Amino acid sequence: MPQLILLNKPYGVICQFSDHPLHPTLKSCVSQAGVYPAGRLDTDSEGLLLLTGDGELQHRISDPRWKQPKTYWVQVEGRPDEDKLAALRAGVDLGDFVTQPAEVRVLPEPPALWERKPPVRFRKTVPDTWLEIIISEGKNRQVRRMTAKVGLPTLRLVRVAIGPWRLDDLQPGMQRSIEVSLADLPRPRHAKPAGPAPARKDPKPQAVPKAAPTPAPAPRFRFAKKK
């Protein structure tokens, strides 16, 4: 079965293996050859990154049609009121696109995370709040842009889950490898089947193909449990 690496990407590590003049790369954490990230995580974000050398598995994880839900713990500046939370849940107009509805809740207390290096810079006069945000997209800096748009700038962002895979007790720079059966992968509710191939030009009438049956809804992923 295909191998999947779950890595806790540290803050400041860039998601590439080729050398970079300013940042450490994935080579500082992953020694295996022939594996590549299935998706990305910003250099200034931390947490779960999936890597594999299997092309089909990489496609199933990163292809937007599958829309694997991604769970983030986000430390924001300020205290969100219900209007701001509702705006995040409903979808945020970021100018170049409108985000899909998200699942958002306020964490009752800060999660027990490792100390970030360098530490987050706080303003003593401004409170901060931890949110759990689940999105089914993964566009560039999307969560940071969403919180900034509603007036809650992100101070720290940690991805704790992608679909059924969780960060759990992995510390920064640590990894674990698991075997994954493609047949056992969950199919999210919003995944779209591949479109039909273009019809050939033919003077003879063609029978209309039957539409593929609609897949049954997959189980909904709940909020990640705080460790």
Give catalytic residues, as residue numbers.
42
CA distance 161 to 97: 24
Sign of the Cα pseudo-torsion (101, 132, 45, 7, in order) = negative
- Between the alpha carbon of residue 148 and those of residues 58, 69, 135, 160, 203, the distances in Å are 31, 21, 16, 21, 56
Residue among 168, 116, 157 at smallest CA distance from 133: 157
CA distance 9 to 27: 11
For residue 28, what are the contacts with CB-CB under 8 A and spacing of at least 6?
13, 173
CA distance 170 to 168: 6
Residue 78 host element (H or E): none
- Between the alpha carbon of residue 65 and those of residues 32, 56, 62, 92, 219, the distances in Å are 28, 14, 9, 20, 17
The residues facing 74 across adjacent strands are 131, 157
